[in-house]
Amino acid sequence: MNDPFRRHNSTPVSSFVLTGYVDLGSLRWLFFCALLLLYLLIIFCNVLLICVIALNRSLHEPMYMFLCSLFINALYGSVALIPFLLVHILRDVHIVPAPFCFLQIYILYGYGTIEFLLLASMSYDRYVAICHPLHYRTRMSQSKTAALIFLPWIYVLLLMGVMIGLRSSLELCGNVIDKVYCDNHPIVKLACYDTTIINIYSIVMTFNAIVYPLIVIVYVYFRILKVCWRGEKHTRQKAMNTCAPHLASVLNFAVAGLFEILQSRFNMSHVPSMLRVFLSLYFLLCQPLFNPLIYGLVLTNIRHICRDLLLRVFRRDKSDS
């Protein structure tokens, strides 16, 4: 709890200073080039798979629609946040205007919340496909699939709108954030008065955005395991091939989210600054880079279409030359 007497030291904050950037020295351009390469790879892979799914009617199934939404969300988070990091890697002073800082928090938390909610929706889709295959078409109708895809975006608009409103009304006694991008809890720590209401709302928001989707995913996979355990060997194999990429994606993002929460909530000054930067970047890069690679390699339909598309492009380039 913040000391109420600090309120007398409050001043209007028009910008924030980010101190999470370590002194890269001569390695600055190396880090910039590495991050730029990863960013371009993220854009290429996600755009490629979005186009593949959108342009092939054979892939206009609920599972692929959910994947397309994941790739769109990856672009949303990456395009909004990674260019900011690229610019600041090359700067000596890291100052962010307050309105842009709050916008960055909205995008960051919105991206994470949508990711978890879509992963929960995908687990339900896999549950219906494996446990109730005869009723799949009726349970996963176009209208229900569309609702499961678009509701997370509407939900985030409401959830994050309230959070940003609470944050922007805070009286702050400082403007220094020990991270490489703006984050919610470090700003709350700068408040000059009691922030119990905001902290309670943050806990509720964390439960709705992370804990509840993970509970749904665990429960769904428990039901899937029960069905597979009673089924034949080829049923278990088919379920494993279908669910493995999704489980890998869930575990990857859950670990990244855990690291991010630990950094925001607890004092990590004893952790080497380079490791803290790496963990922050891992949260931003892990899903946008991991999802298209794992789904593009594992799912046969997507892999074959991508291969044929790239072969046609290379052959056309050779014929033109």
CB 208 within 8 A of CB 47: no
Q: Is the pLDDT of residue 33 over 90?
A: yes
Of the candidates 173, 164, 152, which has an alpha carbon nearest to the alpha carbon of residue 66?
152
Band (9; pLDDT cuts 50, 70, 90): low
User: Angle CA(177)–CA(178)–CA(180) in degrees, nearest 5?
Assistant: 95
Share of the chain above pLDDT 90, in %: 31
Q: How far is CA 114 from CA 106, 299, 309, in A?
A: 12, 23, 30
The ranges assigned to domains in the chain are 44-80+108-172+195-320
**pLDDT given at position 237:** 76
Q: How far apart are CA 321 and CA 318, in angstroms?
A: 5
Instruction: Locate 185 and state its tokens.
Output: 């809890």
Element (H, E) at 294: helix 273-298
Contact yes or no for 277/21 (Cβ under 8 A): yes
List pLDDT tens digits, range 291-315. Answer: 998 888 788 888 888 888 778 877 7
For the domain made up of 44-80+108-172+195-320, give the CATH fold: Rhopdopsin 7-helix transmembrane proteins (1.20.1070)
Q: What does the angle CA 243 – CA 223 – CA 297 come to, to the nearest 5 degrees? A: 0
CA distance 175 to 97: 10
Q: What's the pLDDT tens digit per position in 143-188?
A: 999 999 999 999 988 888 888 788 777 888 888 988 888 888 888 8
How large is the average pLDDT for residues 14-20? 88
